A and B are shown apart, each in its own frame.
Chain A
C-alpha cells in the first residue's frame, strides 16, 4: 500500500491513521465544543503524554519483531522510586528513576539477545517479578509526596501556552527525537531491519544484539519515565497500578500502523494512535460514563484493529479493497499489491 508522491514515500497504514485521527477529532469537536477549547485540548494532551510514552516503548519493540510485556511493571517500580527520590529534587528524582529503568531494560535486552530466547516469555516473567519488586521497594504501601513536595506535582502539570504542560511537551520531544533516531540513524534503521527479516539482516551485517539491547533499553526507560511522571503528578507512587496501560499502549501502536510481524511502523503513527485513543477516552469521560466503559471501548477497538490487520494481509481482502478504490486511483495502488517481503 505504498505509493510515491512527490518523492515522499506515503505509507498506506500511516495515511489511514492520520486521516481517521483528523476525522475523529473534527467529529468530536463538532458535537462537543469542549474539544475546541484550550481546556479540552489540555486534557487530551495530558492523557496523550502517558499513553504516547507507553505506546512508543511497546511500539519500538514491536517494530523490532519483539514484545515487551514488562513495561508497565517497570512504570510502577520506577514511579515508586521517583517518589522516594523526590528529596533530591524533581529533575534528579525523575532522572534517577529513568536511569534505573534504562539499566533494567538494557540488561533485559542483552539477556534476550545473547540467549536468543523469545522476548514474550522473558518479559511475562519480568512483568510479574518487577511488579513484585515494586511492592517490595514500597513496603507494600504507596509512598506519598509530603505537602511541601506537592509543588513538584503542580510543576509538571502547569499549563504552558494554555494547552501544553511540561509532561506533554517532553513527550512530544521524545516522539521527535526517537522518530528521527529510528528514521535517520544507522542504529535506528537496524531495529527495522532486524524486525523485518532477522536472518537476512544479520547475514547483511546487522548486529544481532545491538538493536535488541537498544529497543528494550528504550522501552523500559520510557516505561520508567511514564511511571515517574504519573506518580509525581498524582502525588503518590502506586506499586499495583499502571498495568492497564499495556492495553492502551499496544492499541495506540497498532492503530498507528505498527505491525506485529515487525519491521513496519512509523513513530508519528504511534503518536496519532495515542492521540486518537485519548480523544476517545476523553469523549467517554466527558459523557460522564464510568472508566470501565473506556476499557471496554479500547479492548473492542484493539480487537477491531487486529482483525483489520489480519484481513488486510489476506490477498482476497486486498483485491476486494482494490475493487473498492475508484478507477482513477487504481493504477497507482495496484502495483503495491505485489508482495513487499
Chain B
C-alpha cells in the first residue's frame, strides 16, 4: 500500500504534519543552504577558473540556462501536482521544434502561425499525457511511453532527417537584444508568467492543492484530473517553447536535436528543492535550479571536461540534492 511509486499514497503510519513554524524554519534552512552552495560554487569556480567571471561567460551561461530553464519552469507544475517528473521533455521539445520547422519551411507559414501550430501540438501532447496520469496511471511510465511514441511520430513526419531553417527566418527568435540573447528574456518572462499562473489563477491553486492532498482537493470540489492535465499541458508548452528556440538558435530541427535535455531539466527541478511529494514549490525555484545546472555545465566546459565528466557531475548533483532534501525533511519531522 505504501508504495513509493504511487505519488498520491499517504502512508497510514505517517507522522502528523509538522507545525507551520517548523515548516517555515526548514524552508529557511533549505533556502539558506541552497544559496550557500551556489555562493560556494561561484567562489570556487572564480578562484579556479580565470575566465569564469567575465561578461562573455555570463552571456554564455544565460544562453545555456535559457532552454533548460524554460522547460524546467514548466516541469515544476508537474512536480508540484505530485507527479514527480516527465521523461518525455526532450521528445516534446524536439517535436515542437520539428512541427515549427515544417510549418515554416515546407508550408511556408508566417513565423507567428508556425509558433502557434507548434505550441498547439504541445497542448495536444500535454492533454493526452495529463489525462492518462489524471486517471491514475504512473507519470514516469506514461511519459516514458509517450516519449517513445513522440520520437516515432516525429521520425515519420520528418522522414527522420534534419530540417534546415534559414537563418533570416529565425534571427527574430535566435538573435540578441541589447547584447543579451533574446531567449533569455523569454526565460525571464516565462518564469514570471508561470509564477503568476501558480499563485494567482484557479488552475495554479488547484495544482498545488491536488499535489498536497488529492483526496482533500477532490472532496473540496477540485477536479484532480483536470488539474493534473493542466500541469502536463503547461509542462509540454514550456518544453515545446524550449525546442522552438533551439531550432531558432541552431537553424535546424531534428528528432535527436534536444538529446540530453531531459537529464538537465529533471536535474534542475530535483536540485531546486521543490518537494517531490507535491503541493509545495515554485517555478522560481526551478528557474534557479536551471541556473545552477547551467553553472555546472559552463564550469565543466571552461575546464575542458569531457561529456562523461559533465554527465557524472549532473548525476551526482541529482543524487546529492535529492538526498539532502530528503534528510532535511526527515530532520524536520
Contact of A296 among B140, B153, B312, B315 (CB under 8 A): B153
Given contact pairs A132-B312, A299-B147, A199 touches B13 in the complex (Cβ within 8 A):
yes
Among A97-105, A116-124, A172-180, A229-237, the stretch in contact with B: A116-124
Segment from A30-38, A184-192, A301-309, A320-328 that makes contact with B: A301-309
Contacts of A314 in B (CB 8 A): 136
Chain A residue with minimal CB distance to B147? A299
Q: A219-273: which residues lie under 8 A (CB-CB) from chain B?
A: 239, 244, 246-247, 250-251, 254, 260-263
B276 touches A297 (CB 8 A): no
Shortest Cβ distance from residue A19 to the other chain B in the assembled complex, whole angstroms? 23
Name A299's closest neighbour in chain B (CB-CB): B148
Interface residues of A in 134-159 (CB under 8 A from B): 134-138, 140
Whether B151 lies near A296 (C-beta < 8 A) is: yes
By a CB distance below 8 angstroms, the chain A residues around B327 are: 115
Interface residues of B in 294-333 (CB under 8 A from A): 306-319, 322-323, 326-327, 330
Is B145 part of the contact surface with A, judged by Cβ < 8 Å?
yes
Contact flags (1/0) for A23-41 with B, using CB distance below 8 Å?
Answer: 0000000000000000000
Bound together, the chains give a CA A311 to CA B160 distance in angstroms of: 35
Q: How far is the CA of A133 from the CA of B316 in the complex (A)?
A: 11
Are B3 and A131 closer than 8 Å at their CB atoms?
A: no
With a cutoff of 8 Å between Cβ atoms, the chain A residues found around residue B84 in the complex are: 120-121
User: In the complex where A128-B314, A131-B315, A136-B306 touch, is A297 in contact with B5 (Cβ < 8 A)?
Assistant: no
| Residues A290 and B310 in contact in the complex (CB < 8 Å), given A118-B276, A295-B152, A310-B136 | no
* The stretch of B32-40, B65-73, B262-270 that contacts the partner chain: B262-270
The answer to whether A296 and B1 touch (CB under 8 A), given A128-B311, A132-B311, A302-B145, is no
- Nearest Cβ on chain B to A18's Cβ, whole angstroms: 22
Q: Which of A71-86 contact B (CB under 8 A)?
A: none
Please measure, in the bound complex, the distance between the C-alpha atom of A116 and the C-alpha atom of B93, giving whole angstroms. 34
* A92 interface residue per 8 A CB criterion: no
Cβ of B132 within 8 Å of any chain A Cβ, yes or no, is yes
Bound CA–CA A313/B8 (angstroms): 15
- Residues of chain A contacted by B326 (CB below 8 angstroms): 115, 117-118, 121
Other-chain contact of A302, B2, B148, B150 (Cβ < 8 Å): B148
Minimum CB–CB distance for A295 against chain B, Å: 5
B137 CB–A CB distance under 8 Å: yes
Partner of B270, one of A124, A262, A307, A311: A124
Determine whether the beta carbon of B319 is less than 8 Å from that of A300: no
Q: How far is the CA of A136 from the CA of B1 in the complex (A)?
A: 40
Q: Is A298 an interface residue (CB 8 A)?
A: yes
A163 sits at the interface (CB 8 A): no
Residue of A nearest to B312 (CB): A132
The 8 A CB mask of B68-111 against A (1 = contact, 0 = none) is 00000000000000001100000000000000000000000000
Q: Closest Cβ of chain B: how far from A99's Cβ, in Å?
A: 21
- Within 8 Å by CB of A133, from B145, B155, B308, lies B308
Minimum distance in angstroms from B44 CB to a CB of chain A:
20
Question: Given that A117-B326, A132-B314, A250-B144 are known contacts, is A306 also in contact with B3, CB under 8 Å in the complex?
Answer: no
Known: A121-B322, A125-B270. Is A132-B144 also a contact (CB below 8 A)?
A: no
Q: How many of chain B's residues have a CB under 8 angstroms from any CB in A?
A: 57
Contact A135 B141 (CB under 8 A): no
Does A337 interact with chain B (Cβ within 8 Å)? no
CB neighbours of B136 from chain A (8 A): 310, 313-314
Given contacts A127-B315, A128-B318, A306-B142, contact A198 B3 (CB under 8 A): yes
From known contacts A125-B316, A300-B149, A306-B132, infer whether A65 and B4 are also in contact, taking CB-CB under 8 Å.
yes
Q: Is A168 an interface residue (CB 8 A)?
A: no
Q: Does B11 contact A (CB under 8 A)?
A: yes
Which A-chain residue is minimally distant from B321 (CB atoms)?
A125
How far is B141's CA from A313's CA once the two chains are assembled, in angstroms?
17
Q: For the complex, is A195 an interface residue (Cβ under 8 Å from B)? A: yes
Check if B4 sits within 8 Å of A247, measured CB to CB.
Answer: no
Interchain CB contact under 8 A, B155 and A290: yes
**Considering only CB atoms, which chain A residue lies closest to B259 in the complex?**
A240
Which residues does chain B contribute within 8 Å of A65, judged by CB atoms?
A: 2-5
* B273 CB, min distance to chain A CBs, angstroms: 13
Does B43 make an interface contact (CB < 8 A)? no
Contact, CB under 8 Å: A134 / B308? yes
Given contacts A120-B4, A197-B1, A262-B5, A128 and B141 within 8 Å (CB-CB): no
Known A119-B4, A290-B160, A299-B151; contact A125-B145, beta-carbon cutoff 8 A? no
| A135 x B308 contact (CB < 8 A) | yes
Q: Mark A273-305, 1 if CB is under 8 A from B, else 0.
A: 000000000000000001011011111101100
Which among B1, B152, B310 is the interface contact of A198 at CB below 8 angstroms?
B1
Q: Are B144 and A247 in contact (CB under 8 A)?
A: yes
Contacts A125-B316, A132-B314, A135-B308 given; does A120 touch B145 at CB 8 Å: no
**B12 located at the interface, meaning its Cβ lies under 8 Å from any Cβ of chain A in the complex:** yes
Q: Which B residues are CB-close (under 8 A) to A254?
A: 141
B138 within 8 A of A: yes
How far, in angstroms, from A129 to B316 measured CA to CA in the complex? 6
Q: List 14 A-B contacts (CB under 8 A).
A: A117-B326, A118-B276, A120-B5, A124-B266, A128-B267, A247-B147, A290-B155, A292-B151, A292-B155, A293-B152, A295-B148, A296-B156, A306-B132, A341-B1
B interface, CB within 8 angstroms of A: 1-6, 11-13, 84-85, 132, 135-138, 140-142, 144-153, 155-156, 160, 255, 263, 266-267, 270, 276, 306-319, 322-323, 326-327, 330
Q: Could you tell me which A residues sit within 8 Å of B by CB distance? A: 62, 65-67, 69, 115-122, 124-138, 140, 195-200, 239, 244, 246-247, 250-251, 254, 260-263, 290, 292-293, 295-300, 302-303, 306-307, 309-311, 313-314, 341
